[in-house]
Chains A and B, each alone.
Chain A
Amino acid sequence: MENKNNLLVKMENAGVYLNNKWLVKDVTLNIEKGKIITLIGPNGSGKTTTAKIALGLYKNISGKVEKYTKKIAYVPQKISIDWTLPIRVFDFMNLTSDLQNNETNEALEITGAKHLINNDLKSLSGGEFQRVLMARAIAKKPDLLVLDEPVQGVDFTGEIELYELIKKISETLKCGILLISHNLHVVMSKTDHVVCLNGHVCCSGTPISVANNKKYQELFGEDVSKILSIYEHKHDHKHGVDGSVEEN
C-alpha cells in the first residue's frame, strides 16, 4: 500500500451527481495523519456528501479518491435504531470490532458515558447517544476518524468538553480527523485546515485565512462572518457529566 507523507485520503476534483443534480463537485482535499480538517458551509452545501465520498460510500463519483487506510471510524450525523433490535451500549461499542472489556470501559469513561454501558441504546438522550458514538469511534483506535456534527444535541459545557476531547484524540492517536462543524461560526482552534463548502469548495486554508477570505464573507454576509470565532478555549475546571463543577 502506497503511503506518502502520512496521507490517509486524497480527493481530487471529487463530486457526486445524483438524481439530475450535483450534490457536491470539484472537491480537492487531503486528509493526513495527525491533522484536523474542518468542513463548514450552509445546509445542503455538501458537507456530509464530501465526508461520505472520503469514506467510500458512493459507488459512482466523478474525480478521484484514494484511501490509504482501512482503520476507519465514522460518527454519522444521526442514527435511528429500529425498535425491533434489542441492543445495549455495550453491544453497540463492539459493532464493528471486538474490543476487550477494559478498552470499552476506557473509551466510555473518556466521553463521560461509562454509566450508560448496560443501558438500552434506544433509551439514550441525543447528547448521551453522541457521547456513545464518540466513545465507539475512539475505542477503535482508527487512523482516520470522520465526525459528522459530533456535538449536536450536546449541551454547551458538553460541547466544549467534546471539542477538547477531539483535540486530545488527534494528539494521542495521531489519526487524521475530518470534522464537519454544525456551527458555521465556530471552528476549533486546533483545526489545521478549514474547507468552506457551498456545493463546491468556496475557499479553504487555515482558519484565519478563511475568515478573512472575500468569498467566505460574501457567502455568509460580512456581519455574520465577523463572528467566526476561532475556538480558543481556556478551562480551569472540569465538569461532571451532570454539569457540576469539579475542581482540578
Chain B
Amino acid sequence: MFDDFFIRALFVGIGMALVTGPLGCFVVWRRLSFFGDTLAHSALLGITIAYTMEINIALSVFIISSVVALILLKLEKTTNLPTDALLGLLAHSSLAVGLVVIGLIATIRFDLMGLLFGDILAVNLNDIIIVWFGGALILLVLKLIWKPLFASTVNYELAEAEGMKPERVKAIFTLLLAAIIAISIKMVGLLLITGMLILPAAIARNISSNPKSMVIFSIIAGLMSVLIGLFSSLEINTPSGPSIITAGLILFVLSLIKIKRSSQLKS
C-alpha cells in the first residue's frame, strides 16, 4: 500500500520531528512561539525571492528569516515598542511584502495554498537530503550550545556571571530557528511550521519532570504526530500537513489527562 511518494513523506516527516522536538522545547521555555511565527511569515518573501532569482528555496528562506531576526533584535534595542508589537509588525508586513512581490511577478504561477500549508506528499529526494543533512547539522549545533543555552534560559545573569556567553548562544539559537523553518517550509507550510515546533513540546511539558525527559517526550510526540497524521491522511484523504498538526492536538488533549491526574493526587 505504500506508494513511493508516501515513503518519501514519511522520511521527511520523521526527519523534521527529530529536529523540531528539541528546538520546540526551547521555543516553549524561552517563550518564542510568536517569534517563530514571525520568522515563518517572513519565509513567504524568501520563497518568492527564490523563485525570481532562481536560487534554492531553503537557502533563500534561511537568509530572509535571519535578516528579519536581526532586524527584530535591532528594533528591540532602538525603539520603545514592546517585543510582541514588533513581532506583529514584522510578521504581517513581511507577509504582505511577500504577497505584493508575488503580484508583481505575475509570470510565475504560485500555489498559494501549498505555500501556506505545505505539501509533504510532493517532496522529492532532494528535499529528503536537505531535511536530513540540514536537520543533523541543526541538532549538532544545538548539542554544542545546549549547556549555555539552557543555563541562560533558566537565568540570564547567572549564566553570564559564570562565563556562559548567553548573548552569543541566543544569536546562534535564532539562526537554528531560521534554519529549521527554511528546511521544513515546503513540507508543512508557513502557517503550520510553528505548530510543529510548539505542539510536541507542549505535549511533552505536560508529562515530564525534567528538561531531558521533556526533550525525549517532545521528539516522541512529534514522531507520533507525523505517523498518525500521515497515515490518517492517506486513509481518510485529508490534507497531510494539517492532519499532522491535528494529530498533535489530539495527543495534547490526551496529555492533559495526565496533568489532571497528577494535580488531583497533590490536593
A74 and B209: CB pair below 8 A? no
Interface string of B188-219 (1 = CB under 8 A from A): 00000000000000000100111111100000
Residues of chain B in range 23-47 having any CB-CB distance to chain A below 8 Å: 28-29, 31
B163 and A57: CB pair below 8 A? no
Between B153, B162, B209, the greatest number of chain A beta carbons within 10 A of the residue's beta carbon is seen for: B162
Q: Which residue of A lies closest to B162 (CB)?
A: A96
Chain A residue contacts of B28, Cβ below 8 A: 84
B158 and A85: CB pair below 8 A? no
Whether A73 is near chain B, meaning CB under 8 Å from some CB there, is yes
A84 and B210: CB pair below 8 A? no
A74's partner among B161, B205, B210, B211 (CB-CB below 8 A) is: B161
A85 and B154: CB pair below 8 A? yes
Minimum Cβ distance to chain A for residue B33 (Å): 11
A52 and B31: CB pair below 8 A? no
Chain A residue contacts of B153, Cβ below 8 A: 85
Give the interface size class of chain A.
Answer: 20 to 34
Q: Which residue of B lies closest to A140 (CB)?
A: B162
Chain B residue contacts of A57, Cβ below 8 A: 157, 160-161
Interface string of B144-155 (1 = CB under 8 A from A): 000100110111
A146 and B210: CB pair below 8 A? no
Residues of chain B in range 208-234 having any CB-CB distance to chain A below 8 Å: 208-214
Whether B10 is near chain A, meaning CB under 8 Å from some CB there, is no
Chain A residue contacts of B159, Cβ below 8 A: 95-96
Interface string of A47-63 (1 = CB under 8 A from B): 00000100111000000
B29 and A85: CB pair below 8 A? yes
Chain A residue contacts of B161, Cβ below 8 A: 52, 55-57, 72, 74, 76, 146
A-B contacts counted at CB < 8 A amount to 69
Q: What's the tally of chain B residues with a CB closer than 8 Å to chain A?
A: 25
Chain A residue contacts of B214, Cβ below 8 A: 86
Chain B residue contacts of A73, Cβ below 8 A: 162
Whether B19 is near chain A, meaning CB under 8 Å from some CB there, is no
Residues of chain B in range 83-114 having any CB-CB distance to chain A below 8 Å: none
Whether B182 is near chain A, meaning CB under 8 Å from some CB there, is no
Q: Which residue of B lies closest to A81 (CB)?
A: B154
Chain A residue contacts of B155, Cβ below 8 A: 76, 79
Whether A218 is near chain B, meaning CB under 8 Å from some CB there, is no
Whether B164 is near chain A, meaning CB under 8 Å from some CB there, is yes
A76-B158, A85-B29, A85-B154 known; A96-B205 Cβ under 8 A: no
Whether A92 is near chain B, meaning CB under 8 Å from some CB there, is yes
A91 and B158: CB pair below 8 A? no
A86 and B205: CB pair below 8 A? yes
Chain B residue contacts of A82, Cβ below 8 A: 29, 31
B210 and A87: CB pair below 8 A? yes
Chain A residue contacts of B158, Cβ below 8 A: 74, 76, 79, 95-96
B157 and A87: CB pair below 8 A? no
Residues of chain A in range 180-218 having any CB-CB distance to chain B below 8 Å: none
A52 and B163: CB pair below 8 A? no
Measured CA separation A84–B157 after assembly (Å):
19
Listed from nearest, the 4 A-B pairs whose CB atoms lie closest are: A74-B161, A55-B161, A96-B162, A95-B151
16 examples of A-B residue contacts, CB within 8 angstroms: A57-B160, A70-B163, A72-B162, A76-B157, A76-B158, A79-B154, A84-B28, A85-B29, A86-B211, A87-B211, A88-B209, A88-B210, A91-B212, A95-B154, A95-B158, A96-B159
